[in-house]
């Protein structure tokens, strides 16, 4: 029954490819073309209808996915099935358990929001340049691919679904291919996806070579030696990490995510990365079976590096969507780090604490899906209204787009993990996990884990600074460009409804995290065979992950308290009519004559960080002064150019590229074009072969 829901979700997402194709067919087939009544107005209506049909289907599929996810999480049973496709001796195996269910829920929510948002957003694309058919076709395939990955229960099916996801999203990245940057991004993305997929295949291959067959059940049964298990783990980490965008193999991510249409970037950044994490979890915690603390340590370190690197790179971006993409790197880093913690605890046979870390990681994954979608959709709205993504060109939008501003603010507050919002809860849980280090015997871990925790704190603080900057520069102050000045509030209600849904959920799960955590606890039970420590409580009011003595957090009470405090002083202070607020021109220490160009820009805001963490980036900062006057004494104009680059380009990617090209050039030498040389090859080969076998 529940499986049927899941299938429905997949089928609906496939179905969402069809309407525009049918329309196309109607255009192309002359027979039907004659039936088509003339008039561009009809065309308009037809297009709108198709759009609504597509996104309606997507929305349904999202709904079904969420339903399936919730119901499996509640019922806590495992469903298996098979689809009659695939290899002759191995049809596609399907398995739908709590872990899949959780990610189904994530995807479902995301898709529903996007499908509300989509129709308004894509109306901006003109049919001739960017055919809607392509967009909807590949979006449908992309979503179906993600859902199938979650359902797959054998390596072959898994890889097919995985690659379907990658390729479809590649076409989406290349959707606006008339822009060279997009083409480059798409190529890079596909290349990395391919390499990652190969690593994953190899990882499966390692397991499969010890198991009989490559269904997941067989792989679970594979008895690996530690060395081989570690190799498999390393390969899986490389493969899935590439997709999830861990530093240093993250470079494709900030290139690819921003150039896709915003609702797609939202899905890629909010959901696809989660699917990669799902793969990692499935592989490490489920397939390999018992984990080693060394792996946990690796995960923790990699995660910490990605978290710090991600946010630090994010701070320096001026392109809004690039910035969001980098912050995805940061959040994925946090999740992986906490997973590493949980792995360490598992390996130190503290299953309950392992479960706690697992809980924190999954909950953060869930939250990140929510607020990152929200933020990307918000970025889409801003771009939709201002046709501009450069933060430094914005300003004052909160007066022009109040609703958008509100939603975006909620997103920023959740992602910078402020209390009362969901982001905070998951980070709080992460800290609680880290603080349980005392139970571990191993001295190295006991001293490393707190450091990681402190790094996490630094990350959170940096994130807060980053998003203060973003929100402040985007929405506050004076408009810095004509676009920003002319901006209007979103007209289309759907485009507001989608983000509003997500924002509401962010707040809801910030206040009542217990609801979600209860569900995720089932996942831990089923996957790790361990749940939260006894004595812990996940009630709606209090949240005491380890025990009430150790730590507790009650968001509802906090909310109530905040309301009381604010209410009191609000009421009290505004009672006398003599003190109503008076509007006047900005004081500005009496300088006056305030112009937009006087404000702090994003790069100015980040200047202190740029100086403090200077080594993290490759900074190319140039100040050029046009001097004039007899002795060049006075400066006519100052040109300031700032170029900030990611370290992993020159360190990692360009060397590889050069190496390949050099080898290719060497190999090219054998094609001399002279037939006698060729004959020589044949001759020598013959001689050598004969000599070998004799």
Partner 1 sequence: MIAAYLVLLIPLTGMAFFALAGHRADSGAWNIRLNAVNLIATLWLAINVLREGTILSAGKAFLIDPFNVYLIVLTAFVGLTTAIFSAPYMAHEMETGRLNDARLKLYHAMYQGFMLSMYLVLTTNNMGILWVAMEGATLATVLLVSLYRTPESVEAAWKYFILCGVGIAQALFGTILLYYAAEQIGSEENALLWSVLYENADKLNPEVLKIAFVFLLIGYGTKIGLVPLHNWLPDAHSEGPTPMSAVLSGLLLNDALYAVVRNKMLVDGATQSDMAGFLMMGFGLLSFLVGALFLHRQKDIKRLFSYSSIEHMGMMTFAFGIGGPLATFAALLHMTVHSLTKSAIFVTVGHASQLAGTQNMEKIRGLIKTQPAIGWGLLIGTVSIAGFPPFGVFTSEFLVLLATMRSYPWLAPLLLLGIGIAFAGLFRHIQPIVYGDRPEGQQPIKANLWPVMIHLGLVLWLGLAIPGFLADWFSQATLLISGSAP
Partner 2 sequence: MNWLLAMSQTVLFVALAPLLAGWIKCCKCRLQNRKAPSLFQPYRDLLKLTRKQPVVSDQASWIFTISPYIIFSAMVLAASIVPLIAVDLPTSASADVIVLIGFFSFARFFLALAGLDIGTAFGGMGSSREMTISTLAEPAMLMGIFALTMSASTTNLSLAIDFVLDEGLVLRPSFIFALLSLMLVAIAETGRIPVDNPATHLELTMIHEAMILEYSGRHLALIEWASQLKLMLYGVLIANIFFPWGIAERITPGDLGYGLLFIIGKLAFLSILLALSETLFAKMRLFRVQEYLSFAYLLGLLGMLSHIILEGAR
Partner 3 sequence: MNIEQLDFYTQAILSLAALVGLTSFLMLGQGRLLRLIFVFAVQGFLLALTTAAAAYSLSNYHLYISAALTLVLKVILIPWMLRRQVLKMNMHRDVEALSNNTAVMLGGASLMLFSYYILHPIVQTSSLVMLNALAVSLSVMLLGMLLMISHRQAVAHVVGFMSIENGLFFAAIVATHGMPMVVELGVAFDVLVAAVLFGIFFLHIRTSIDSLDVDLLNRLSEVDK
Report the C-alpha gap between 581 and 345 in whole angstroms: 56
3 binds, among partner 3, partner 2, partner 1, none (CB under 5 to 8 A by kind): none
Q: How far apart are CA 204 and CA 110, in angstroms?
A: 29
For 276, half-sphere exposure in the C-beta direction (CA atoms, 13 angstrom radius) is: 32
Could you give the CA distance from residue 315 to residue 310 in angstroms, rounded to a whole number? 9
State yes or no: residue 166 binds partner 2 (CB under 8 A). Answer: no
Instruction: For partner 3, give the closer residue by CB, 40 or 694.
Output: 694
The least CB distance from residue 658 to partner 3, in Å, is 16
CB within 8 A of 683, min separation 6: which ones?
Answer: none
Are residues 343 and 293 in contact, defined by beta-carbon separation less than 8 angstroms?
yes
User: If binding is defined by CB under 8 A, does position 658 make contact with partner 2?
Assistant: no
Report the distance separating Cα 74 and Cα 595, nearest Å: 57
**Which one of partner 3, partner 2, partner 1, none interacts with residue 566, CB within 5 to 8 A by kind?**
partner 2
669 binding partner 3? (CB under 8 A):
yes
Residue 649 in the binding site for partner 3 (CB under 8 A): no
Q: Exposure pattern of 308-340 as b/e (b: 16+ CB <10 Å)?
A: bbbbbbbbbbbbbbbbbbbbbbbbbbbbbbbbb
The entry of partner 2, partner 3, partner 1, none near residue 669 (CB within 5 to 8 angstroms by kind) is partner 3
Q: Which of 227, 638, 641, 690 binds partner 3 (CB under 8 A)?
A: 690
Q: Which two tokens stand for residue 381?
A: 């709205």
Please give the full DSSP string across 192-211, using - where no structure is assigned.
HHHHHHHHHHHHHHHHHHHS
> How many residues interact with partner 1 (rule CB under 8 A)?
53
* Cβ-based nearer residue to partner 2, 322 or 480: 480
In terms of CB distance, is 145 or 405 closer to partner 2?
405
| Whole-angstrom distance, CA of residue 407 vs CA of residue 502 | 9
By beta-carbon proximity to partner 3, the closer residue of 38 and 668 is 668
Q: How far apart are the first and last CA of the chain?
A: 66
Tell whether residue 680 is a contact of partner 3 (CB under 8 A).
yes
Is 692 near partner 3 (CB under 8 A)? Answer: no
675 touches partner 3 by CB under 8 A:
yes
Residues 326 and 254 sit within 8 Å (Cβ to Cβ): yes
Total residues interacting with partner 2, rule: CB under 8 A: 86
Q: What is the contact mask toward partner 1 in residues 115 to 154, using x (rule: CB under 8 A)? A: ----------------------------------------
Residue from the set 383, 552, 647, 648 that interacts with partner 2 by CB under 8 A: 552
Residue 37 sits at φ, ψ, to 5 deg, of: -80, 145
**One residue of 191, 564, 686, 688 binding partner 3 per CB under 8 A:** 686
Q: Are 408 and 471 in contact (CB under 8 A)?
A: yes
Question: How far apart are the C-alpha atoms of 537 and 177, rounded to whole Å?
Answer: 52
Residue 600 main-chain phi, psi, to 5 deg: -70, 135
- Taking residue 291's Cβ as centre, other Cβ atoms within 10 Å add up to 22
- The partner in contact with residue 464, picked from partner 1, partner 2, partner 3, none with C-beta cut-offs of 5 to 8 angstroms by kind, is partner 2
For 248-279, letters b (16+ CB in 10 Å) and e give bbbbbbbbbbbbbbbbbbbbbbbbbbbbbbbb
The answer for residues whose C-beta is within 8 angstroms of residue 112's C-beta and 6 or more apart is 59, 62, 63, 66, 498, 501
Query: Does 540 interact with partner 2 (rule: CB under 8 A)?
Result: no
What minimum distance in Å lies between the beta carbon of 634 and partner 2? 22
Determine if 561 is a binding residue for partner 2 (CB under 8 A). Answer: yes
- In this chain, which stretch among 149-157, 317-325, 525-533, 562-570 interacts with partner 2, using CB under 8 A? 562-570
636 lies in the site for partner 2, by CB under 8 A: no
CA 216/CA 147 separation, integer angstroms:
17
Nearer to partner 2 (CB atom), residue 22 or residue 548: 548
458 binds, among partner 3, partner 1, partner 2, none (CB under 5 to 8 A by kind): partner 2
Partner whose binding site includes residue 639, from partner 2, partner 1, partner 3, none (CB under 5 to 8 Å by kind): none
- Output 612 or 690, the one with its CB closest to partner 3: 690
Please, are residues 301 and 271 in contact by the beta-carbon 8 Å criterion? no
Residue 438 site contact among partner 3, partner 2, partner 1, none (CB < 5 to 8 Å, cut-off depends on kind): partner 2
Q: Which residue has the tokens 């995510």?
A: 257
Q: Tokens at residue 467, please?
A: 């998003």
Interface map 470-499 toward partner 2 (x if CB under 8 A): -xxx-xxxx---------------------
- Encoding tokens for residue 489? 């509030």
Taking CA atoms, 9 is separated from 3, 5, 40, 239, 330, in Å, by: 10, 6, 35, 27, 30
Site for partner 2 in 397-416 (CB under 8 A): 398-399, 413, 416
Given the complex with partner 2, which of 157 and 475 has the nearer CB atom?
475
Q: Is 693 in the site for partner 1 (CB under 8 A)?
A: yes
For the chain, what is the radius of gyration of the CA atoms?
28
Stretch that binds partner 2, among 116-124, 202-210, 250-258, 451-459 (CB under 8 A): 451-459
646-675 binders of partner 1 (CB under 8 A): 660-661, 663-665, 667-668, 670-671, 675
Among 30, 129, 549, 694, binds partner 2 (CB under 8 A): 549
> Which of 208, 176, 186, 197 has the alpha carbon at shortest distance from 288?
208
Residues of this chain that interact with partner 1 (CB under 8 A) are 84-89, 156, 159-160, 163-164, 166-167, 174, 177-178, 180, 183, 186-187, 190-191, 194-195, 198-199, 201-202, 205-206, 208-209, 214, 660-661, 663-665, 667-668, 670-671, 675, 678-679, 681-682, 685-686, 689-690, 693-694
Residues of this chain that interact with partner 3 (CB under 8 A) are 665, 668-669, 671-676, 679-680, 682-683, 686-687, 690-691, 694
């Amino acid at each position: 029954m529940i499986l049927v829901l899941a299938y429905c979700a997949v089928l609906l997402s496939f179905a969402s490819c069809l309407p525009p194709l049918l329309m196309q067919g109607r255009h192309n087939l002359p027979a039907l073309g004659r039936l088509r009544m003339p008039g561009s107005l009809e065309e308009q209506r037809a297009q709108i209808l198709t759009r609504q049909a597509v996104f309606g289907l997507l929305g349904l599929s999202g709904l079904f996915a969420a339903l399936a996810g919730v119901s499996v999480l509640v019922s806590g049973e495992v469903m298996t099935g098979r689809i009659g496709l695939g290899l002759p001796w191995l049809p596609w195996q399907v398995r739908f358990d709590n872990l899949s269910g959780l990610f189904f829920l994530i995807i479902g929510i995301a898709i529903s929001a996007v499908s509300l948002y989509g129709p308004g957003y894509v109306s901006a694309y003109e049919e001739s340049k960017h055919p809607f058919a392509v967009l909807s076709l590949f979006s449908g395939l992309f979503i179906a691919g993600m859902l199938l990955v979650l359902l797959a229960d054998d390596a072959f099916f898994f890889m097919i679904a995985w690659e379907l996801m990658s390729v479809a999203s590649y076409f989406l990245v290349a959707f606006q291919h008339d822009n060279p940057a997009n083409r480059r991004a798409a190529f890079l993305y596909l290349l990395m996806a391919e390499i990652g997929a190969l690593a994953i295949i190899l990882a499966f291959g390692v397991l499969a070579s010890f198991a009989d067959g490559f269904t997941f059940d067989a792989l679970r049964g594979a008895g690996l030696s530690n060395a081989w298990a570690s190799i498999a783990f390393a390969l899986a980490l490389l493969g899935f990490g590439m997709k999830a965008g861990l530093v240093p193999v993250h470079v494709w991510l900030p290139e690819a995510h921003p150039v896709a249409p915003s609702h797609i970037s939202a899905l890629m950044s909010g959901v696809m990365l989660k699917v990669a994490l799902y793969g990692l979890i499935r592989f490490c915690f489920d397939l390999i079976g018992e984990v080693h603390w060394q792996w946990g340590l690796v995960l923790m370190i990699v995660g910490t590096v990605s978290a710090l690197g991600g946010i630090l790179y994010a701070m320096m971006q001026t392109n809004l969507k690039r910035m969001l993409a980098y912050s995805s790197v940061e959040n994925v880093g946090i999740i992986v780090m906490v997973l590493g913690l949980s792995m360490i605890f598992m390996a130190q046979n503290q299953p309950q604490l392992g479960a706690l870390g697992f809980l924190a990681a999954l909950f953060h994954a869930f939250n990140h899906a929510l607020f990152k979608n929200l933020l990307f959709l918000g970025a889409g709205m801003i771009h939709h209204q201002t046709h501009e993504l450069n933060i430094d060109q914005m300003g004052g939008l909160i007066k022009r787009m109040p609703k958008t501003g509100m939603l975006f603010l909620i997103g920023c507050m959740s992602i910078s993990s402020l209390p009362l919002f969901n982001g905070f809860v998951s980070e709080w849980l992460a800290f609680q996990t880290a603080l349980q280090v005392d139970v571990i015997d191993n001295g190295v871990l006991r001293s490393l884990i707190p450091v990681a925790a402190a790094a996490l704190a630094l990350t959170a603080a940096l994130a807060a600074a980053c998003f203060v900057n973003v929100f402040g520069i985007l929405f506050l102050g004076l408009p810095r460009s004509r676009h920003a000045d002319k901006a209007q509030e979103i007209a289309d209600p759907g485009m507001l409804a989608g983000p509003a849904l997500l924002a509401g959920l962010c707040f809801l799960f910030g206040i009542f995290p217990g609801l979600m955590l209860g569900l995720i606890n089932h996942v831990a039970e089923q996957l790790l065979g361990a749940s939260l420590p006894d004595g812990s409580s996940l009630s709606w009011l209090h949240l005491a992950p380890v025990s009430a003595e150790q730590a507790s957090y009650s968001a509802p009470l906090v909310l109530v308290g905040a309301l009381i405090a604010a209410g009191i002083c609000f009421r009290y202070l505004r009672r006398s009519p003599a003190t109503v607020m008076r509007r006047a021109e900005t004081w500005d220490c009496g300088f006056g004559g305030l112009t937009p160009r006087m404000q702090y820009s994003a790069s100015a805001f980040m200047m202190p960080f740029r100086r403090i963490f200077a080594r993290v980036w490759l900074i190319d900062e140039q100040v050029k002064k046009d001097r004039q006057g007899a002795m060049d004494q006075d400066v006519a104009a100052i040109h300031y150019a700032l170029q900030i680059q990611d370290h992993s380009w020159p360190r990692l990617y360009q060397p590889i590229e050069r190496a390949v090209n050099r080898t290719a050039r060497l190999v090219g030498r054998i094609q001399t074009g002279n037939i006698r040389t060729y004959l020589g090859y044949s001759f020598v080969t013959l001689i050598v072969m004969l000599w070998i076998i004799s």
